[in-house]
Amino acid sequence: MDLKKQLKEGLLTQNPVLVQLLGMCSTLAITTSLFNGLGMGVAVTAILTCSNIVISLLRKVIPDKIRIAAYIVVIAGFVTIVDLLLQAYVQELAESLGVFIPLIVVNCIILGRAEAFASKNSVAASAVDGLCQGIGYTVVLVVMSVIREFLGCGTFGAGILNGGKGYVLLGSQYPASLIAQPVGGFLTLGILIALTQWLMRPAKKKEGSRDGLR
Amino acid sequence: MSEKKAPGARAAKPAPKQPVQLDPQYITRLTVTLLAICVVVALLLGVTNAITKPLIDEAKAEKARAAMMAVFPADEYVPVERELPKGISAWYTVRHGSTSVGWVLETTAAGSQGPITMMVGVDINGEVTGVSVISHSETSNIGTKVVDSQTVLDRLIGMSHADGEITLNAGTNRFDGVSGATYSSKGVVAGVNAALDAVAPDVGKW
């Protein structure tokens, strides 16, 4: 178990969004404000870590033929629990994320990690993997949210900071609402992916191999 | 050659196609495992639901009450006991002490991106006392210029069906929407029209 390596993979070399391109739907749809991005990221990280732990615990009990069904039941259970908890304790977030909370069930990152990692590794390693991948997902969501909220609405942290009003950085005539729409999501994501690839390039050359890709 | 064999040998490792195992013991194991997982998950969900349901219900009721207070402040809201017309999901009579002074209706109409649910207050003369949007999925910065803007929604106050249906940007009983957000404006107007239609038979009868 190599914590540093797993964290680096989650954040950069195996980032679920920027490199594996998983969970695109929620990434594009909800990154319109920091509040949404952070909330979704934390919810997914919690569910991913919990489901990774449980699936890793059960990996020897679950027969191979029904593993996908079993994983989905476990994941759906956690998602519903988080959904109910959000509705009960953080109504604003539950409202603004809406249908995207139940849709975490079909978020490929979670089933992907269950199948690719948790079903083959120890409980501790799976927990760390869930956490690292979740953090990688959250960081991307937060970055995208901040960019899109600033360019699309001209605010920063609307819904959480400054007593829920956020900080207005641009006058109402400047924001390009295009960026806050799905089109802007694709544009932002594309630019971010290109930027990560560019950033990772020198590192690859130095290592002289593609070790990053297990 | 032997080196080249290695990848081939690896590829062959996943077992060749086997006939489906119909060993009853194996089938039982599959069923029991899946059933056990489902039971445990269901149990956990039941517990969570039992804990959160009162809180969720309370929050919903509180929100509905706040929306009613916003469109028609009153002492008491009494549910109307009759079959609700299409598009109306809740209907209350508004009371000040023991006198009924109007109605509050929750209506849903199609917006641009999905349904818009709103609370509409109507007084005894059939005039709108207020409109408040409860939930919507309109586009941020376009449709929200209608549904999230109380200034725009407040322009509906005082409108009635005395001169026929309210129409968007046209006619004598005209509501000026927000340009660029025509479908969201249409949705709000449709919701208000539905509320006014529903109370029409009772207007001025008390």
User: Which range is most confident: A158-172, B24-38, B72-86?
Assistant: B24-38
Query: What proportion of chain B, given as a percentage, has pLDDT over 90?
Result: 32
- For chain A, the average pLDDT equals 86
Name the average pLDDT for chain B: 85
Which residue's structure tokens are 């349904």?
B115
Q: How confident is the model at residue B194 (pLDDT cuts 50, 70, 90)?
A: very high
Q: What is the mean pLDDT of residues A166-170?
A: 78
Contacts of A87 in chain B (CB under 8 A): 52, 56, 59
Q: How confident is the model over B166-170, as a mean pLDDT?
A: 87
* Most confident among A152-161, A170-179, B187-196 (mean pLDDT): B187-196
Please answer yes or no on whether A76 and B41 come within 8 Å at the CB atom: yes
Residue at A214 is within a domain: no
Residues of B in contact with A98 (CB under 8 A): 137
Residue B112: which of B32, B182, B62 has the closest Cα? B182
Collapsing DSSP to helix, strand or coil, A155 comes out as strand
Overall average pLDDT of the A100-115 stretch: 90
Whether residue A207 lies inside any domain: the answer is no
B145 pLDDT higher than 70: yes
**How many domains are contained in chain A?**
1
Residue A59, domain extent: 3-200
Enter the tokens of residue A57.
């615990």
* Residue in A closest to B143 by C-alpha: A177
- State residue A77's pLDDT score: 94
Radius of gyration of chain B measured on its C-alpha atoms: 28
The answer to whether residue A61 is domain-embedded is: yes
| pLDDT score of B191 | 93
Report d(CA A20, CA A117) in Å as an integer.
14
Q: Which of A61, A81, A84 sits opposite B33 (nearest CB)?
A: A61
Comparing CA positions, the residue from B98, B67, B95 lying closest to residue B79 is: B95
Q: Distance from CA of residue A95 to its chain's centroid? A: 19
CB A157 within 8 A of CB A34: yes
Most confident of A51-60, A154-163, B17-26, B158-167: A51-60
Burial of A115 (0-12, 13-18, 19+ CB in 10 A): middle
Domain contains A127: yes
Tokens of B141: 């910065």
Question: Which stretches of chain A are assigned E, i.e. beta strand?
Answer: 155-156, 167-168
Nearest-CB residue to A63 (from B30, B45, B52) = B30
Q: Does A58 touch chain B (CB under 8 A)?
A: yes
CA B104 to CA B191: how far, in whole Å?
A: 12
pLDDT digits (tens, 9 = 90+) for A4-34: 888 888 888 888 888 889 888 889 988 888 8
Residue B3 scores a pLDDT above 60: no
The H or E element containing residue A197 is helix A182-207
Q: What is the 8-class DSSP label of residue B155?
A: G
* Chain B contact probe: residue of A31, A79, A87 with most B CBs at under 10 A: A87
Angular region, A21: left φ>0, alpha ψ -120 to 50, beta rest:
left
**pLDDT on residue B1:** 41
- Does B41 score more than 90 pLDDT? yes
B residues 16-45 closer than 8 Å to A (CB): 26, 29-30, 33-34, 37-38, 41, 44-45
| In chain B, % of residues over pLDDT 70 | 89
Contact B156, B192 (CB under 8 A): yes
SS3 state of residue B100: strand
Q: A69-91, pLDDT tens digit by residue?
A: 999 999 999 999 999 999 999 88
Establish if A54 belongs to a structural domain: yes
> H/E element holding B3?
helix B2-12
Q: B65 versus B6: which is more confidently predicted?
A: B65
Q: B167-168 and B174-175: which strand pairing?
A: parallel
What is residue A13's predicted lDDT score, i.e. its pLDDT? 85
Distance from C-alpha of A39 to C-alpha of B30, rounded to nearest angstrom: 37
Per-residue confidence (pLDDT) for residue A163, from 0 to 100: 66
Nearest by CB to residue A85, choosing from B33, B52, B141, is B52
Residue A14 counted as domain residue: yes
Confidence band (pLDDT; 50, 70, 90) for B20? low
In a domain, A35, yes or no: yes
In a domain, A211, yes or no: no
The count of other CB atoms within 10 Å of the CB of residue B82 is 8
**Nearest 10 degrees: CA dihedral of B38, B40, B46, B52?**
-110
pLDDT-derived band at B143 (thresholds 50, 70, 90) equals: confident
**B55–A88 CB contact, under 8 Å:** yes
C-alpha span between B45 and B42 (Å, rounded): 5
